[in-house]
Amino acid sequence: MPRFVSSILVFSILVLCPRTAPCIKPHATLADLKKLEILCYVPGWLPKGFKLKSVTMTYDEPGPDEWNRWESSDIDGQADRPSERERTSQGSVGRFPLYYLEYGNDHGASFTIDSAREGIGDRNIMGTEDSEETAITSPFGPMYLIYTPKGQGNPASSGSGRINDIKSHPQGEIRGVTKFVKGGRKKEIKANWARDANMKAENAKALVHPILGRYDGFSATGITVTEFEKIINSLRPIRP
* pLDDT score for 179: 47
Kindly report the length of the chain: 240
- The residue ranking higher by pLDDT, 228 or 66, is 228
What mean pLDDT comes out for the span 69-79?
Answer: 44
Q: How does residue 112 score in pLDDT terms, banded at 50, 70 and 90?
A: very high
Q: How does residue 21 score in pLDDT terms, banded at 50, 70 and 90?
A: very low
Q: Per residue in 217-227, pLDDT tens?
A: 999 999 999 99
C-alpha distance from residue 146 to each of 133, 182, 233 (Å): 5, 11, 17
| 191 has a pLDDT exceeding 50 | yes
Whether the Cβ atoms of residue 199 and residue 170 lie closer than 8 Å to each other: no
DSSP state of 223: B
Give me the chain's average pLDDT, please: 75
| 155 has a pLDDT exceeding 70 | no
Q: What share of the chain is helix, strand, coil (3-state, %, to 5)?
A: 25, 25, 50
Distance CA 43, CA 199 (A): 20
Distance CA 205, CA 208 (A): 9
| 13 has a pLDDT exceeding 50 | no
Q: How does residue 72 score in pLDDT terms, banded at 50, 70 and 90?
A: very low
What is the full DSSP assignment across 11-66? HHHHHHHHHHSPPEETT--HHHHTT-SS--EE-S---TT-EEEEEEEEEEPPPHHH
Report which residue type is found at 54: S
Whether the Cβ atoms of residue 159 and residue 118 lie closer than 8 Å to each other: no
* pLDDT score for 11: 39
108: phi > 0 → left, psi -120 to 50 → alpha, else beta; which? left
* pLDDT score for 62: 78
Whether the Cβ atoms of residue 45 and residue 77 lie closer than 8 Å to each other: no
| 186 has a pLDDT exceeding 80 | yes
Burial of 120 (0-12, 13-18, 19+ CB in 10 A): middle
Q: How does residue 56 score in pLDDT terms, banded at 50, 70 and 90?
A: very high
